[in-house]
Amino acid sequence: MSGQEGRRQVISIHEVTKRYSGRTALDGMDLELRGPGVISFLGPNGAGKTTLFKLINRLSFPDAGEIIVNGYNIVSEAEKALFCMGSQIDETRFHPYLTGREILSFVYLMRGTPNDMVAERLRIVGEGMGITSFLDDRFGTYSSGMKQRFAIANAIMSDAEIIFFDEPTTNLDPSGIAEFRNLIRDLREMGKLILISSHLLSEVSGISDRILIMNRGKIVFDSDIEEIERFLSIRLEEIPENVPKSIPGVSEISRRGDSIVVKPEKGVSNSEVIERFIEKGLKIREITEVEGLERIYASRTA
């Protein structure tokens, strides 16, 4: 990677607090984020996700605590710390009278990149994010969807080792959302550390290696994706008056509307669960996987 010192991808957050007008946005956060991989922050609006990303990227300053990026203090060693990162955070703001090509070229050149590398990088990023056709238009003429695509392109333009995406699919159409998911997979394969904030479980499902849930300025859940438990929603032809309290191979059973939600024991396949239900004389109409993440999110953000 151009200008990068190896593959250092560590963000250390020590007892960080941030307040706005008497409201605590982050409350003594202590956290380490290490790459490569995709780390997603989930939480309702106002949970503190964007505030955290702004503090790490020096767009705001903590009231207490410190943030270290690849060994550099984000306040006292800002230039070195910021050089390690690319970001798309909060509202997209660029000079309306400059073209997209001028803005991205400026961003790249500011990092000391040779002039002869800019055109090739623009081609790669433009094609990857589907913005080539409007790169020579002034930013002020872009639609909201075009601006969002451009902001994502700007985040990856520098080819940094650590990349932030804050509510990245806002204003994107379905094709833009699919392109973003493909981009994340490509960046992961390149060995980047990607951090995503969202209040949509569907946005980070299937692309994350680690999930953190925030609520009221605190981390209320933190787990690698493979540790999140699997649940099945089983819709029956007719739910018995008394739902079975135990079924072999199933550790939890609960009723949700016209379905029964179960947690298979480790090593028990979906087909085995179906067999056990049939053995109990229960007729299955439909079976679907329910991400344990949905249940966790609901319980942690209530």
Question: Which residues does the chain have with pLDDT short of 70?
Answer: 1-7, 243, 291
Do the domain assignments include residue 129? yes
Of the residues 185, 208, 227, the one at which a domain ends = 227
Which CATH number fits the domain that encloses residue 262? 3.30.70
**Do 209 and 115 fall within a single domain?**
yes
Residues 132 and 177 in one domain: yes
pLDDT of residue 13: 97
- One domain for residues 16 and 153: yes
Q: What is the spatial distance between Cα 248 and Cα 267, in angstroms, rounded to a whole number?
A: 12
Pair 55, 47: CB distance under 8 Å: no
Q: What is the pTM of this model?
A: 0.80
* 208 and 285, same domain (yes or no): no
For every residue of 65-76, DSSP letters joined together read: EEEEETTEETTT
Which residue range(s) make up the domain with 287?
230-300
Q: Verify that 296 and 183 share a domain, yes or no.
A: no
Domain for residue 5, yes or no? no
Element (H, E) at 99: none
Q: Give yes or no: residues 124 and 191 share one domain.
A: yes
Q: What's the domain count of the chain?
A: 2
Whole-number Å distance between alpha carbons of 276 and 19: 53
Domain contains 36? yes
